[in-house]
Structure 1
Amino acid sequence: MRKSIPSSVKKELRTEVGFGCPVKGCGNPYLEYHHFDPPISVKPHNNPEGMIALCAQHHKKADGGAYTAEQLHALKRDKTNADLVKGNLDWLRKDLLAVVGGNFYYETPKVITIDGIDLVSLVRDKEGYLRLNVNMLSLESEERIIIEDSSWENIGSPVDLRSPPQGKELEVKYANGDYLYLRFVELKTEVAAIKRYDRDIFSDLTFPLTAVEVNMTIAGTNIALTSESSQIEGLTMMGCLSSHCGGGVLIENSGISWRQNPIWKRELLVEQTEHPNVLKVHFGRR
C-alpha cells in the first residue's frame, strides 16, 4: 500500500542510511520506509525520528517484528555503516550503458518508453548517483511495480520478487506472465565489454562504466525484450550502439489499453496522431 510520505522526509531517511538499506551486509539502494516508533498501526505519522529506510526484504521482516525499536534507532545512528553503504554504491556513479533488445545505449537515461510512459529510466541525483525509476505496464487491472528515484512506491502481488543485497539485480514476476529483470554489471575495460557482449563497438566509451541489462515481457502483447534480442511486432534490429540519446527503446501509439494500477488512477500520457492505431517503434532517438 502506498504511504503518503513527503518527499523531504524520504530524502532525509535515505540520506541518513547512506542511500542503501542499513541492515549489515545489505546496502540495497531500492528503499521503502518503515514506521516503527510508534508503529503506524498505533499512530499514523510521518515523523522521520520514528521512521527508517529499509529495502523491501528487510522492511517486510521489520513489519513482522524482526527488529526492536532500539535496534532500528541504533541503525539510524550508525553513521559509520551509512558511510560504508554509500561507498559501496560507487558503481552507481559511473557512466551508464543500457543493454536492451540486443542494442546498446550509452549515457541514455530513458531506457524503455511506451506510449509516453517511461518504463525503465535512470536519473542522476545532485551527487551523481544513478536513481532507478520503474513504471511497469500491464493488460491486467492490477497493481504493478513502481519505483521512483530508487524508492519503492508500489509492488502489487508478484508471484516472485527478488532483489539481493547491493541492489545489482531486481527481478519481479506476476501470475499473468508480466516480467521484469534488471542486472547491473560493472565493466572495468573495453576488453571486458567486448568479452561479455561479443561486440567490438565500445571504443568511444569511457571506462569503467556500469551496464544495466534489461529483460522485460508484457504478457498478452507482442512486446518482449531481453538484453540479447527484441520482439516487437516482428521488428528486429540488433548490435547497434547509440550514444547520449533522448531515449532507448521507444514505442509510440501501440493502441493497447493499459490497465495496471487502477487504484492510483495514473494518467497514461498517450500522444494521439492522425493514425492512432499505427505502431511506431524507434531503437534509440537523438
Structure 2
Amino acid sequence: MNRTPPKKVIQTLSQEVGFGCPVPNCGNPYLEWHHFDPPWSIENHHRPEGMIALCTQHHKNADNYAYTNDQLVEFKKNKVNSEKVKGNFEWRRNKLLTVVGGNFYYETPRALVIDNYDVVSLTRDESGYLLLNVEMLSVSKEERLVMRNNCWENIGTPIDFKCPPSGKEIEIKYENGDFLSIKFYVINNKELFKKNFDIEAPDSLEFPLTISEINFEVSGIDIKVSPKGTNIQTNQFIRNFSYNCGVGMMLNLGIKWRQNWNLVPVPSRRAASCPCNSGYRYKHCHGKIELGG
C-alpha cells in the first residue's frame, strides 16, 4: 500500500482541519498525513479516524511522540483553529499574478514549465483557495521537492528549508546548490503596484492582488530564474504581461533531468517510455546501464 492516501481521504483530512495544520498557533497550509491509530509502522492503513493532517514540522514532532493520541484527536476537532486558519489565508483567494523570469503572468496556472515538467503550478480548490504544486528539477539523482495540491510528497535531504506557518514562503536548498523559493504577498492597489515594480499596473488587474515570486536555480548547468530575469540567453524579454494563459514561462532545454531516481518505477519493457516523462525510452533514460556520476 502506498503511504500517500487516496484523494478522497486527503480531501476529508484537509477539510477536517480547515486546510491548515491544526496545532494551536500554526495553520501552515502545506500538509502531510500522520497515521497515529495505529501508526503506519504497525499497520498500513488510510482510515481517516486514525489519521490527521499536519505541517511538516508538526508531523515530525508527532512521529517523535510529542503528542498523545488523545491530543491528536482533539486537534482534529479544533474547529475554532480551523476557522482562524481560513481567515488567515484569505490571500489565497485573491487573483494571482506570478512574477518569474522578469515577466508577469496573471491568473496563469502553469507558472514555470521546463522540458514539459511543471516546476511550479497553481490550481484552485472548490472553495477558490490556491493550491501549490512543485516539482524541482536536478541533474543529480538525489530526491528533490515534490508537492501536489499543497500536499508534500517528497522533500529529500535539504541543507536549508523554510516554510513558516503563514504559508507565504517556501525556500529550499540542497547541498549541490539546487535552490527554489516561492514567496507570496499582497498588493492592494495600483499605487502600491507601481511603487513595488516601477511599472504601471494594467487596468485588467483586479486588486487586492496576490503576488507570487519564483526563484529557481539548478546547479551543474547554471540555470537561474528569478523575478527579475534569467541567465538563459533564449529568454531575454522582460516586463511583459500575459493574461489567463495556460502556461507562463516555458523553457525547452533538452536536458535529461535525473532527480528522484529511486522513485521512478521500472516499466515492463526497457523500450517503453520512461515513467519520468522525459520523452525518452526507459533504456535511454533511467534504465540506461552506464550513467556515470
TM-score for both structures, normalised by structure 1: 0.90
What is the distance in 2 between the residues matched to 1:238 and 1:201?
A: 15
1:179 aligns with 2:187: no
What is the distance in 1 between the residues matched to 2:166 and 2:115?
A: 32
What is the distance in 2 between the residues matched to 1:57 and 1:199?
A: 39
- Secondary structure at the residue paired with 2:3? coil
Shift of 1:237: 1.8
Q: Which residue of 1 aligns with 2:219?
A: 219
1:4 aligns with 2:10: no
Alpha carbon RMSD of aligned pairs, Å?
Answer: 1.5
What is the distance in 2 between the residues matched to 1:202 and 1:69?
A: 53
Q: Which residue of 1 aligns with 2:152?
A: 152
Q: Which residue of 2 aligns with 1:261?
A: 260
Q: Which residue of 2 aligns with 1:77?
A: 77
Letter in 1 for 2:277: L
> Which stretch has the larger CA shift, 154-163 or 236-245?
236-245
Q: Which residue of 1 aligns with 2:134?
A: 134
> Which stretch has the larger CA shift, 81-90 or 161-170?
81-90
Shift of 1:149: 0.4
Letter in 1 for 2:261: P
Letter in 2 for 1:107: E
Shift of 1:249: 0.8
- Cα deviation, 1:200-248, whole Å, max 9, x if unaligned, reads 1433201011110100101112421111221113642221111111211
The 5 A counterparts of 1:43-122 are 43-122=43-122
- Cα deviation, 1:166-201, whole Å, max 9, x if unaligned, reads 100000101111100010011111111111112114
Change (3 A) 1:17 1:147: same
- Secondary structure at the residue paired with 2:245? coil
Shift of 1:47: 1.2
> Which stretch has the larger CA shift, 83-92 or 164-173?
83-92
Q: Which residue of 1 aligns with 2:123?
A: 123
- Is the 1:102–1:237 contact (alpha carbons within 8 Å) kept by the matching residues of 2? yes
TM-score for both structures, normalised by structure 2: 0.88
Shift of 1:255: 2.1
What is the distance in 1 between the residues matched to 2:100 and 2:18?
A: 30
> Which stretch has the larger CA shift, 263-272 or 222-231?
263-272
What is the distance in 2 between the residues matched to 1:239 and 1:233?
A: 16
Q: Which residue of 2 aligns with 1:248?
A: 248
Unaligned runs of 5+ in 2: 266-274, 281-293
What is the distance in 2 between the residues matched to 1:270 and 1:189?
A: 42
The count of aligned residue pairs is 270
Shift of 1:89: 1.4
Letter in 2 for 1:9: V
Runs of 4+ residues deviating >2 angstroms: 201-204, 266-272
- Secondary structure at the residue paired with 1:212? strand
Unaligned runs of 5+ in 1: 273-286
- Is the 1:187–1:211 contact (alpha carbons within 8 Å) kept by the matching residues of 2? yes
- Is the 2:30–2:167 contact (alpha carbons within 8 Å) kept by the matching residues of 1? yes
- Is the 1:180–1:214 contact (alpha carbons within 8 Å) kept by the matching residues of 2? yes
Q: Which residue of 1 aligns with 2:19?
A: 19
- Is the 1:31–1:150 contact (alpha carbons within 8 Å) kept by the matching residues of 2? yes
What is the distance in 2 between the residues matched to 1:194 and 1:222?
A: 32
- Is the 1:193–1:202 contact (alpha carbons within 8 Å) kept by the matching residues of 2? no
